[in-house]
């Protein structure tokens, strides 16, 4: 899954550590989210969207391959 966390985080002037503290996770979780290596729970996605003042759809980009139900 692609994300726009890094760009939106920069827009808000937040470091990975600061965003992690705001949403209640470790900095590594934010790093993995930014690199698309971790799919967040709905609860975490909501917290990230609140912290970045953006909609979930603006932050997390689901690609067709992510939606396959094999």
pLDDT tens for each residue of 12-29: 999 999 999 999 999 999
Both structure tokens of 62 = 């689901």
What separation in angstroms does the CA of 38 have from each of 3, 13, 49, 69?
10, 23, 16, 18
Residue 33 belongs to a domain with what CATH number? 1.10.260.40
Residue 18 lies in a domain: yes
The number of folded domains in the chain is 1
Residue 70 lies in a domain: no
Both structure tokens of 24 = 């209640």
Confidence of residue 62 (pLDDT cuts 50, 70, 90): confident
Residue 68 lies in a domain: no
23 conformational bin, left if phi > 0, alpha if psi -120 to 50, beta if neither: alpha
Q: Is the pTM of this model over 0.75?
A: yes
């Amino acid at each position: 899954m692609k994300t726009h966390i890094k760009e939106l985080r920069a827009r808000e002037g937040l470091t990975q550590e600061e965003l992690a503290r705001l949403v209640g996770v470790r900095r590594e979780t934010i790093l993995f989210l930014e690199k698309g290596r971790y799919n967040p729970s709905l609860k975490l996605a909501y917290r990230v969207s609140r912290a970045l003042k953006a909609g979930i759809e603006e932050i997390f980009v689901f690609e067709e391959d992510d939606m396959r139900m094999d």
